[in-house]
Amino acid sequence: MTAPTDSTPEAPQRVVIVGGGLAGAHAAEPLREQGFDGRVTIVGAEPHLPYERPPLSKGLLLGSDEPDSVFVHDQQWYDDQRVTLRTGTRATAIHLDAREVALDDGTRLPYDRLLLATGAQPRHLPMADESGADIAYLRTLDDSRALLAGLSGSLLVIGAGWIGLEVASAARQAGAEVTVVESAPAPLSAVLGPELADVVASLHREHGVDLRTSTGVESIEHADGRTVVRLSDGAELHPDRILVAIGAVPDDALAAAAGLATDKGVLVNAGLRTSDPHVWAAGDVAQHDHPTHGRIRVEHWDTAIQHGKHAARGMLGDEAPYTQEPYFFTDQYDLGMEYVGNPGPDGYDEVVVRGDRESRVLTALWLRRGTVVAGMHLNDWDAIDPIRAWVGHEATAELRDTSVALGDVPLPDSEG
Ligand code: FAD
C-alpha cells in the first residue's frame, strides 16, 4: 500500500464512498488493487447496483441493450472484493470532526477516508413541474424505464443538449413525433460553435425532428387531459409528453451542509481532495482545480470513472494531480461522436475541419492562439488517437493543411 501523506498521517482502515454511481463504483477497484485491506463501504441512494448512465438515453431507450448490461459490476464482484454495498440508503449528514457519515436508516458510519461521489441532478423547470402535464426528466435507470414505456405519441423535448438530442433520436426511432425546442441558435452550439452545430441540426431534421432553435418556452398548461405549450415565437404545441433536458446541477448539498468548501460543486484540489484532509470528491459533483484548465466541473462518463480511481489512489496517499483531458462521446441515429479537450471560458479563435459535412464523416480541431484546445470526430473512429495527441500542442502549417489526413500529420515534437 502507498504510504499515507503528512497531512493525513494515519493509515486508513475504513473507506466510505457516498454515491453508488460511476465514480463511486470505480473508486472501489484500485483500493484492492493497491493492497488496501481495510473496510470499504459504498452508500448509494438508488435501489440498484451501481450502473452506467450513457445507455439510459441510448441503447436502453432503443431497446438494443440488455437490461443487465448497464451495471458496472455484478453483486459477486462486490462480494469478492469485500465491498459492502448499501443500496437504497441515503447519507443524510457528514460529521467531519467525528469522521462519521449519518445514514437515513439511523446508523452512523465511521470513516478514515471519505469519498463524495454524489453526482448531479437534472435542472428543473418550475413551470413544467407545476403544470400538471406529463413531465419527464432523465437521470436514473428508473427515469429511463419510465420514458421507454411511454415513447410513442408526441414528445416535446425542451433543450437541445446531449441528453435531449439522444432522447429525440431514440424517440424518432421508436416512431414518436418529436419536437425539440432550444433557446440557443443551434443545438450544442456552446460545444460545437456555429461552424459545426448545423451538422447536428440537419441530422435531426433529416430524421424528422421538428427542431425549433432560438425559441423559448413561455408557458405550459394542462387542463382536461390536454397540454398546451406556448413558445416565444407565438406557436402553440400539444405534446402528449414533455422531456425537460436543460442541464444538471451538482449534488453538493450534503458537502455544503457539512462545512466543506463548495462553489457549484465540491471544491477539490488538483489531486481531488476537498477542504477537509480526510475527504475526497470525484465525478460530476467535483469542482476540480485542474492543472491546465483551472476550475472545471466535468459531467462526462470517462471523467467520473477516472476521477473515482484517482481519488481512491489519493485516499491511499498518492498526491499526484489529476491531469487528464475531458473526453465525451455520443451516439445519435447512425452518428457517433467523440470529443476531447476543453476550450474553457476563453473559447477558440480558429477551427480546422477535415472531411465531409454531407456524409458526416469529419474531424474538427479547435485552436486558441495557435494551440489545439479541443478536437472531435464524427464517424471517423481511427481519428480519436491523433486528436488526443494534438490537444495541448501548437498547430503547424501541416495541421492546417486539410488535404493531409490527420493521422499523417507529424506532431511538432515527434521525430520524422
Ligand atoms: P452519478 O452517476 O450520478 O452517481 C451519483 C450517485 O450518488 C447517484 O446514484 C445518486 O443517487 C447517489 N447519491 C447522491 N446523493 C447521495 C446521498 N446523499 N447518499 C447516497 N447516495 C447519494 N457522459 C458521457 O461522457 N457520454 C454519454 O454519452 C453520456 N450519456 C449520459 C446519458 C444520461 C441519460 C445521463 C444522465 C448522463 C450521461 N453522461 C454521459 C454523463 C455521465 O453518465 C455522468 O457524468 C456520470 O454518470 C457521473 O458519474 P458520478 O458517479 O459522478 O454520478
Q: What is the pLDDT of residues 203-217, one digit of tens each?
A: 999 999 999 999 999
pLDDT in tens, 273-291: 999 999 999 999 999 999 9
Query: How many angstroms is it from 119 CA to the middle of ligand 1?
Result: 5
As beta bridge partners, residue 95 has: 100
Average pLDDT over residues 157-183: 97
C-beta of 307 in contact with ligand 1 (< 6 A): no
- Give the range with max mean pLDDT: 5-14, 146-155, 265-274: 265-274
Average pLDDT over residues 68-94: 97
C-beta of 77 in contact with ligand 1 (< 6 A): no
Query: How many angstroms is it from 20 CA to the middle of ligand 1?
Result: 9
128: exposed, middle or buried (Cβ count in 10 Å: 0-12, 13-18, 19+): buried
C-beta of 138 in contact with ligand 1 (< 6 A): yes
C-beta of 170 in contact with ligand 1 (< 6 A): no
In this structure, the residue with its CA closest to atom 4 of ligand 1 is 21
pLDDT in tens, 356-381: 998 999 999 999 999 999 999 999 99
- Cell triple for residue 161? 443538449
Atom of ligand 1 nearest to the CA of 254: 18
Atom of ligand 1 nearest to the CA of 122: 36
Q: What is residue 7's predicted lDDT score, i.e. its pLDDT?
A: 54
Q: What is residue 414's predicted lDDT score, i.e. its pLDDT?
A: 54
Q: What is residue 412's predicted lDDT score, i.e. its pLDDT?
A: 83
Query: How many angstroms is it from 281 CA to the middle of ligand 1?
Result: 13
- Cell triple for residue 94? 457528514
Q: What is residue 8's predicted lDDT score, i.e. its pLDDT?
A: 55
- Asked if residue 384 lies in contact with residue 404, where contact means CB atoms within 8 angstroms, the answer is no
H runs (alpha helix) in 245-360:
253-258, 301-315
Q: What is the pTM of this model?
A: 0.95
Average the pLDDT over each of 2-11, 235-244, 248-257, 329-338 and give the range with the smallest value. 2-11
Average pLDDT over residues 36-61: 97
Query: How many angstroms is it from 206 CA to the middle of ligand 1?
Result: 31
Across the beta sheet with 154-158, what order do the strands follow? 135-136, 241-244, 154-158, 177-181, 210-212
